[in-house]
Amino acid sequence: MALPLDEAVLAYRASQGAVCFAAFKEEDVIGCLWLCLSPYDEDEVRCRYRPAPAGEASWDFDVYLMPAHRSGLGFARLWDEANAYLRQRGIAFSWSRISAFNPTSLASHARLGARVAGQATFLRLGPCQLMLASLPPRWHLSFRPTDRPSITLQNPKRR
C-alpha cells in the first residue's frame, strides 16, 4: 500500500524540517502523521503557520489512516509515538490542521482532548487566494505564490 502523497510534497515537507511518523501493518504503511517544530508553509494553500511559543509548541498536519484501518488502534498508536517525540523535546502542545469537512477526524481529535482554537477558510481562483480567518491577520488577499499570510498559533493562556 502507498500513502496518497507524491514525491514533490514529501520533498517540500522535508525541506521545512517536518517529521513523518508512520504506522505499519506487517510490511505495509497504513497511516502517517506529520509534525513540524518550526513555522510551516502549508503545501495545500498559501499560508505560514507559526506554532508559539517557539520551542514549546509544534504544528501537526495530515494525519491519515488507510480506510480499512480506521476502526483499529492506528490513530492512537501514531499519536502515542508523536507525543513521546514531543515530550523528549520539551514540547507542551501541538496545533493541528483539520478540515471542517472531515467530521470523523474532528471527533477523533476531540476524544483526545483537542479544542478548536481558530478557523481559516481559503478560496483560490487561479493565482488569486483569499483567506478569511478567526485569528490575525483575519483576512489576506494574494496574487503571487510567494505572498502568504502568517498565522501565529499562541496558547490562549499566554496571550
d(C-alpha 2, C-alpha 41), whole Å:
24
Mean pLDDT of the chain: 89
What residue segments make up the domains of the chain, in order of their start? 7-118+148-158
pLDDT at 28 over 90: no
Total-model pTM: 0.84
pLDDT per position as a tens digit, 51-61 = 998 899 999 98
Give the pLDDT score at 60. 92
Whether the per-residue pLDDT at 118 is higher than 70: the answer is yes
CATH classification of 7-118+148-158 is 3.40.630.30, yes or no? yes
Residue 133 to residue 129: CA distance in whole angstroms:
13
Closest CA to 136 of 121, 148, 122, 151: 151
